[in-house]
Structure 1
């Protein structure tokens, strides 16, 4: 051990620790490097396969003047409007649930902050889905 510690390290070996001079450590480091390289290559191959199968342009470009392109864009606008309406309904249901539960908690007269939060969570978890179902059936 003293022979290793007393030996002078050359400039190209300074980046490696002293025990890296042992053959088993060098083999282990080389096998780890090869393993990491193989993993990177496999990951790159997977990414390339996913990228090759991916269709990037589903919608026609704005420059395309064909009738089918116009119909596709119109249909996509309708889908977008429907999605926006659904999100608005969801947020309105969340807001109304929060206000209703806050009113119920204030009527109950709980003063403690932690108890109030627990009760708000319980009430909102129990009644939220019911409120969303009611909003969906009424068609708000």
Structure 2
């Protein structure tokens, strides 16, 4: 090997005592306020901790208030009554169908505008169109608000 191995310096008890003595002398040579409590130099650390605790408390209170606002009017389902559970399931299915119907209508409207773009459409948009055109759909003209609502009600 071309590299020379470095020899480890073996520390003796005298060397470690010398480092301790130097650190102790540095600490003791500092000028300290006689009336100050022990570790008075670290008060800023304690202040930061207290400010952090106060900030966390404020954040928790804000989060709790936000959740309370969202829960206004919400009544949890009584899971002990099977009739109420069944009704909630049916309502959830109805809501899901409505959201799916809304998204399908929006998609259909967007695809209609993609037809208008024609050759200028981006390749990825054309791929989206091919993916969704598997199902038969009728071409739509410009939709008014009433026509759009009528599509949703189909």
Shorter chain as denominator, the TM-score bin is 0.3 to 0.5
TM-score, length of structure 1 as denominator length: 0.46
| Structure index of larger Rg | 2
TM-score, length of structure 2 as denominator length: 0.43
Identify, as 1 or 2, the structure richer in helix: 1
